[in-house]
Amino acid sequence: MPVERKSSVILDQVALRLGSADFHFDGRIAEGAITAIAGPSGSGKSTLLALIAGFEQPDEGRVLIGGEDVSGLAPANRPVSLVFQDNNLFAHLDLFTNVGLGIDPAFRLTPADRQAVSQALTRVGLGGYEKRLPATLSGGERQRAAFARALVRRKPVMLLDEPFAALDPGLRSAMADLLLDLHRESGQTIVIVSHDPQEVERLASDVLFLEKGRILLAASCADFSRRRDIASVVEFLGTPGSGQVCT
Ligand SMILES: Nc1ncnc2c1ncn2[C@@H]1O[C@H](COP(=O)(O)OP(=O)(O)OP(=O)(O)O)[C@@H](O)[C@H]1O
């Protein structure tokens, strides 16, 4: 019998209506794994992340993280760090401060915290950018700064919504390596929305595939990448034999 892995995030019969869009999520995300959220445009990937992060509250059902019902908690009080598409840096604050706020929203930083901020900026390739304002950075640099801010938070769950989409292929690959290194070091639960089958297969051990506001398929990456019986999955993966391999 397969050993059941501990679930870090549980969506327990979560229902939500936004305008004319209807969502119903019932599923689990394994603790300490990298889980990719994939699916067609408009299938509800960002909404699923927003429900876990607390930016959306379920109309029905519960969200549990590490066994605790977090349904009523504000985003800041949930054990998650976030890297979203719009990277939400404070425009009037320099990068050092933006990243430091990830550790303490009141910016009371110990010397060790300050060192962690500098190290995170260096790890994402932004060493020396401490005094720069977000407006002076490229979109990709802003995205990397947002990633650095998530790195220093060291929360049990990291949520990433297409974090590397704005980067060119070389940097994208370097950031994927960094995410894998971080995961090996921290054992965090990582949930990443991706449109890129190669990125999914490179990073994730598990996949939740969404369609029309539902979890259509929950599978290991290896099983997911072999599925040829679901049209939307086939469309996402592309043609068979395109060299995609789960790690
Ligand atoms: N606040 C809202 N009010 C009304 N409709 C919404 C709202 N937020 C999301 N939607 C709709 O819900 C659906 C799912 O949106 P969502 O952003 O979660 O999809 P997605 O899978 O992340 O899409 P994409 O891959 O294009 O980013 C879309 O049709 C969107 O228009």
Provide ipTM, 2 decimals: 0.96
Q: Which atom of ligand 1 is nearest to the CA of 21?
A: 12
Ligand 1: which residue has its CA nearest to atom 28?
42
Cα of 56 vs centre of ligand 1, distance in Å, is 12
Cα of 43 vs centre of ligand 1, distance in Å, is 7
List of long-range contacts for 102-111, beta carbons under 8 Å, 24+ apart: 102/148, 102/149, 102/150, 102/151, 102/152, 102/153, 103/152, 103/153, 105/76
Cα of 161 vs centre of ligand 1, distance in Å, is 13
Ligand 1: which residue has its CA nearest to atom 11?
21
Query: Tokens for 226?
Result: 């072999």
Cα of 113 vs centre of ligand 1, distance in Å, is 36
Q: How far apart are CA 143 and CA 147, in angstroms?
A: 6
pLDDT in tens, 47-102: 999 999 999 999 999 999 999 999 989 998 999 998 886 667 999 999 999 999 98
Please tell me the pTM assigned to this model. 0.90
pLDDT in tens, 200-228: 999 999 999 999 999 999 999 999 999 98
Cα of 127 vs centre of ligand 1, distance in Å, is 35
Q: How far apart are CA 201 and CA 222, in angstroms?
A: 8
Pocket of ligand 1 from Cβ distances under 6 Å: 18-19, 21, 39, 41-47
Domains of the chain: 1-74+188-247 (3.40.50.300)
